[in-house]
Amino acid sequence: MTAPPPPVGYIVVLGSGYVPHPDMPVTAALDSEGLTRIVEGLRLLRQLPAARLVVSGAGLSAQGGTALGYAQLAQALGIPADRIIVLDRPHDTRAEASEVARLTGSMPFVLVTSAYHMPRAVLLSRRSGAQLIAAPTGQRTTVEQRLSWRDFLPGSGGLRDCELALHEYLGLLAIAVGL
C-alpha cells in the first residue's frame, strides 16, 4: 500500500497507444501500457477529489489519440467531463512535457507514466519548468523470490523489455545531445 499523494491540482497521465474501433470497448483499444497508466491516474484521482485529470497523447488517425481514449474510459468509470482536461495535440514526450508545463505553470502536479519511461519524462518535464511529483506505474518486477528454471529460458517478454529499454536509452541520448 502506498501513501496518498500530497495535495495537487492536477494528475497528468502521459499517452501511450490507442487504436479505436467501433466494435471494440475502449479498454481493448488502449494498449496495455496506456491501460495501466490511466488506471493508476484514476486511482490517484479518487484520493485527490479536488484534482483534475489531465490526459495526453495525440493520435495517428482522425479517430483520435490516446488522450481521447483515456477521457472516454474515465467518463465511463464515472469521472465527470468537467474534471478532465484533454491534451490531444502532443505527439511525443517532449511535446507533452511542454504542453503540461504551460497548463500547470509553477503548480506541482502528479505525473503518471510507466516506470521505465519516467526518467525521460521527468527530465523533459523539469526542463520545461514543470514541478512534478513522479508516480511511476507498471513496474516490471515480480514478487517471486526464488528462481525457477523458466527464468533461464529466452522468451518474447525479454525481447519486449529490451525494446523498451533501448527506446528509452535512445530517447535519453537524444536529449543529452540536444535533439
Q: Are 34 and 137 in contact (CB under 8 A)?
A: no
Task: Note the residue count of the chain.
Answer: 179
pLDDT at position 179, please? 76
31: DSSP letter: -
Record the pTM: 0.83
Element (H, E) at 85: strand 84-87
Instruction: State pLDDT tens for residues 150-174.
Output: 777 777 776 777 777 787 778 888 8
pLDDT average, residue stretch 51-73: 88
Judged against a pLDDT cut of 70, whether residue 62 lies above it is answered with: no
DSSP 108-161: -EEEEEETTTHHHHHHHHHHTT--EEEEEE--------S--GGGGS--HHHHHH
Element (H, E) at 66: helix 66-76
pLDDT average, residue stretch 113-139: 94
Q: Which of 61, 57, 53, 54 is nearest to 79 (CA)?
A: 53
Judged against a pLDDT cut of 90, whether residue 137 lies above it is answered with: yes
pLDDT at position 1, please? 53
Q: What is the mean pLDDT of the chain?
A: 88
pLDDT at position 93, please? 93
pLDDT at position 6, please? 67
Q: Name the architecture of domain 10-140.
A: 3-Layer(aba) Sandwich (3.40)
pLDDT at position 36, please? 96
Q: Which of 18, 34, 171 is nearest to 113 (CA)?
A: 34
Q: Which of 92, 87, 121 is nearest to 103 (CA)?
A: 87
Judged against a pLDDT cut of 60, whether residue 48 lies above it is answered with: yes
pLDDT at position 127, please? 94
Instruction: State pLDDT tens for residues 12-37.
Output: 999 998 988 889 999 999 999 999 99
Instruction: State pLDDT tens for residues 66-117.
Output: 999 999 999 999 999 999 999 999 999 999 999 999 999 989 999 999 999 9
pLDDT at position 63, please? 66
